[in-house]
Chain A
Amino acid sequence: MDWDWNFVWEIMPTLIQGVKITILATILGSVLAAIVGLGIALARRSENRIVARGVGWFAEFIRGTPLLVQLYFIFYVLPDIGILLPPLVAGVIGLGLHYGTYTAEVYRAGIDNVPRGQWEAAKACNLSGRHTWTHIILPQAIPPMIPALANYFIAMFKETPLLSAITVLELMNQAKSVANTYYRYIEPMTLVGAFFLVISLCSVVLLRWLEHRYGRIER
């Protein structure tokens, strides 16, 4: 067990290539999760019972099954019905869908936290359903959820190594290919771990700031 700094510098450019893809996947996945979550949260409040119940069960199912199997499903089953996706796109859809079911709960809590009086006031002002949502409810509901949403995005970031299983060349996959080429596991694996640790320690600071700025979500 010996640590070789020269080897570290040699593999650094490859790993940084992977870091870029990891970050790209996280950002795209976060955007998708934010949209999917809002969609699920709104659908679960729908007046159509079947839609509300169906979407509720679907979200429950997604949340109860592993992301890895969902990624395999998107990557291997969808091509059979004619939808051929590049690995990164499949990965982003998987991340977005999986974490969308989590962010949906955050949206739900945020929307429930808007006082009843606001709904009644919107009705009194004769606002339509759409205007009530876009001008009254969501602008008040979203800022307090930002810390909780960010928390899930950080969790998502830590799950991106799973994308290596569907051949996305992100950080973990680059590290694995480097390790298999040179048959040295210590440096690449430790660097990947260190990278994730550094980013998530930084994100703790960011999260504290967000909580300070946007208030708490719990109540």
Chain B
Amino acid sequence: MSRLPRTTANDRKFYTQMTGYLGLILQGALVTIELTLMGSVLALIMAFLAGMGRVSRFFILRAIATVYIEFFRGTSIFVQLFWVYFVLPFAGLSLTPLQAGVLALGLNVGAYAAEVVRGAILSVGREQYEACTALNLGRWQGMRHVILPQALLVMLPTFGNNAIELLKATSVVSLISLADLTFQAQVVRSQTGSTLMPFVSVLVIYFALALIISWGVRTLERRMARGLDGVRV
């Protein structure tokens, strides 16, 4: 289309086409953002369940959490996604691509984040646990009011990294035909034959989203650290 003679009409046609394709890519960006948000929520829930399961008193909870974490960290996100999307229907559980994507991403990143939760809980000093006992707080009360508020601050930077990993992993769902950024880039490539425009713009959008996540996490960290002056160095 760029080989047409350069006239105002052709220029206008070129621009409308390009803005049309840009619109397609922006639609993809919305799907990616949606997927990242929903996946992060599921990952956060799984991370706390499994992370606290790993430091539980009960053997059975520890065992379940360990199996979950090792399984999802051991097989790749790609395989998990395909398994959820192609194999689960045979077990009678058919998921839409979006549901499959959120499920696989959330469970996968949740397993990585669970180790972060566990590490942060263990990083809180012994004296804090002893203080909980001295104040006659129950296990759950101590966890809720003393340990977690301090551990959360330790988790936050790594959670930010995990969220960026999740954002990057969302590109894989394009392979199960969910129309996210990567998928739309492929659509534009196959329709226009132009490769540079779709892929560069998609890379830039992913990078901008990653920057937003890391900026957001840093802001959150600063706000949460405010009340804890002197507690941590």
Chain A residues with a Cβ under 8 A of chain B? 1, 61, 64-70, 72-73, 76-77, 80, 158-162, 165, 172, 176, 179, 185-186, 189-190, 192-193, 196-197, 200-201
Q: Are A200 and B206 in contact (CB-based, < 8 A)?
A: no
In this assembly, does B86 line the interface, its C-beta being within 8 Å of a C-beta of chain A? Answer: yes
Q: Are A65 and B168 in contact (CB-based, < 8 A)?
A: yes
Q: Are A196 and B185 in contact (CB-based, < 8 A)?
A: no
In this assembly, does B140 line the interface, its C-beta being within 8 Å of a C-beta of chain A? Answer: no
- Shortest Cβ distance from A199 into B: residue: B74
Q: Are B172 and A68 in contact (CB-based, < 8 A)?
A: yes
In this assembly, does B73 line the interface, its C-beta being within 8 Å of a C-beta of chain A? Answer: yes
> Which of these, B74, B90, B211, contacts A1 with CB under 8 Å?
B90
Q: Are A189 and B83 in contact (CB-based, < 8 A)?
A: yes
Given contact pairs A61-B207, A65-B203, A160-B76, enumerate 6 new A-B contacts (beta carbons under 8 Å): A66-B169, A68-B172, A69-B185, A80-B196, A190-B83, A200-B75
Per-residue A-contact encoding for B177-213, CB less than 8 Å = 1, 0 else: 0000110011001000001100110110011001100
- Shortest Cβ distance from B74 into A: residue: A200
Q: Are A72 and B76 in contact (CB-based, < 8 A)?
A: no
CB within 8 Å for A185 and B189 given contacts A64-B164, A192-B79:
no
CB within 8 Å for A80 and B172 given contacts A66-B182, A185-B87, A193-B83:
no
Q: Are A193 and B171 in contact (CB-based, < 8 A)?
A: no
Cα distance A71–B202 in the bound complex, in angstroms = 13
Report A-chain residues with C-beta under 8 Å of the C-beta of B78: 159, 161-162, 172
Q: Are B164 and A189 in contact (CB-based, < 8 A)?
A: no
Chosen A-B contacts, 7 in total, with CB atoms closer than 8 Å, are: A64-B206, A66-B171, A67-B168, A69-B181, A196-B75, A197-B74, A200-B73
Cα distance A15–B32 in the bound complex, in angstroms = 32
Q: Are B79 and A66 in contact (CB-based, < 8 A)?
A: no
In this assembly, does B71 line the interface, its C-beta being within 8 Å of a C-beta of chain A? Answer: yes
> Which of these, B71, B168, B196, B207, contacts A197 with CB under 8 Å?
B71
Cα distance A161–B77 in the bound complex, in angstroms = 9
In this assembly, does B68 line the interface, its C-beta being within 8 Å of a C-beta of chain A? Answer: no
Cα distance A67–B174 in the bound complex, in angstroms = 13
Cα distance A1–B90 in the bound complex, in angstroms = 5
Cα distance A76–B79 in the bound complex, in angstroms = 24
Q: Are B199 and A185 in contact (CB-based, < 8 A)?
A: no
Q: Are B182 and A196 in contact (CB-based, < 8 A)?
A: no
